[in-house]
Amino acid sequence: MSGFHEISTSLGRFQVAFDAEGALIYLGFAGREYRESLRVKVARQATALDPDAGVLARLKEQLEAYAAGTRRTFDIPLRLHGTPFEQRVWAALQRIPFGETRSYGQLAAELGGSALSRAVGRANGANPISILVPCHRLVGANGSLTGYAGGLALKERLLRLEGAIKD
C-alpha cells in the first residue's frame, strides 16, 4: 500500500505512515495480516504520504531510546482518525502514566460507565498508533495480560520495561 514504510527496531519491525503535514497516522507491527483492515481504514481516512527521511529517523531513534529505557514520552506529532468514542479512548490511553496500567473496566468507568468495557476493548484494538498511544497499558480486571497486536510477549516486555510488571 503506497505511503506505508517499514522500520526495524529492537522492539521489532513496524509499518508506519504519515499524513501531508508530517503527523504520524499509523504505527503497526509488520507481518500481522489481521491488522490489514486497520491499514486500509487509515489509508482511506487520511492519505498516507512519503515522509521526510528525518521524520522516519526521529521516530526510529525515539523507539530505540524507549526500548533502552532512556525515553518515557514521545514528541512525534500524531493524528488519530477514528470515531468520536475511539478518539476518547485513545486520549484516555495517552493519560495513563508510564509505568502504570489500567483495566478495561477502569478505563470504561473513567469514560462513563463499566458497561462500556467491551467498547473500550474494541476501540483499544482499533488503535492505529501502537506504543505511542499506549494500548499495551490496558490489562484484564485481575491484572492479567490480554490481547495485544504485537503479541503478549511484547506486551509483557513493554510493561516490564516501564516498571509496571516487577520480577
Q: Which residues are catalytic?
A: 135
Nearest to 93 by CA among 59, 60, 131: 131
Phi/psi of residue 19, each to 5°? Answer: -95, -175
- Going by the DSSP 8-state scheme, the letter that residue 51 receives in this structure is P
* E strands present in the chain: 4-9, 12-18, 24-29, 102-103, 138-139
Sign of CA dihedral 69, 70, 72, 74: negative
Look at phi and psi of residue 95 and say left if phi exceeds 0, alpha if psi is from -120 to 50, else beta.
alpha
